[in-house]
Amino acid sequence: MAVGMFLAWGLISGYLGLFLRPDKPQIQSLLVLFPRGPSEKALWVVMSLSAAFCEEFVYLGFLQTSVRRLGGGTGVAVVLQSLAYGFAHAALPWNIMVTVTFLGILFGAFAAWSKSLLPGMLMHSAFDLLAVFAR
């Protein structure tokens, strides 16, 4: 399922990239945050795994389930948790934050459909790790 999510995200992000592509100053502002050296990269791996677990648990698990239980329905729950997920990334440039919100919709839809947080956790970890080790 995580591979399916990754492929779906590749299609969605390719389309979004036509409109929301970050410019060079935005990319430079993000690169400053990335780790340098082996010890920072080791800590990045730990942070990536813990962030993936915690964020998916909070947004896809707790928030989405709570909205559904309050009578919001699955569609409303997915949209609300994705908006919360996007706003939680407000430190990023606006166009990347919008892209992250769409990523939250994808993660939320997969979590609701599969009844599992694991695909989102795996994909979130992969994104965070690839951002540093594949650049």
Q: Is 92 part of any domain? A: yes
Q: Is 21 inside any structural domain?
A: no
Mean pLDDT computed over every residue of the chain: 87
Whole-number pLDDT of residue 66: 94
Q: What was the pLDDT predicted at 134?
A: 67
Structure tokens at 68: 């559904």
- The single residue listed with the structure tokens 């166009």 is 95
Residue 103 contacts residue 9 (beta carbons within 8 Å): yes
**Position 123: which residue type?**
M
Helix (H), strand (E) at residue 52 = helix 37-55
- Written as six digits, the tokens of 84 are 């919360």
Residue 106 lies in a domain: yes
- The pLDDT tens digits of the residues spanning 30-88 come to 888 888 889 998 999 999 899 999 999 999 999 999 999 998 899 999 999 999 999 99
Q: How many domains does the chain have?
A: 1
Structural domain range at position 79: 47-135
**Whole-angstrom Cα distance, residue 113 to residue 118?**
12
Helix, strand or coil for residue 88?
Answer: coil
**15 in a structural domain:** no
Residue 54: inside a domain, yes or no? Answer: yes
Query: Smallest Cα–Cα separation from 129: which of 54, 46, 55?
Result: 46
> Distance between CA atoms of 21 and 55, rounded to whole angstroms?
24
**Amino acid 32: pLDDT:** 80
Take residue 116 and report the two structure tokens written for it.
Answer: 């599992």
Is residue 34 within 8 Å of 131, Cβ to Cβ? yes
Say what the pTM is: 0.81
On whether residue 97 sits in a domain, the answer given is yes
* Residue at 134 is within a domain: yes
Residue 93 domain-assigned (yes or no)? yes
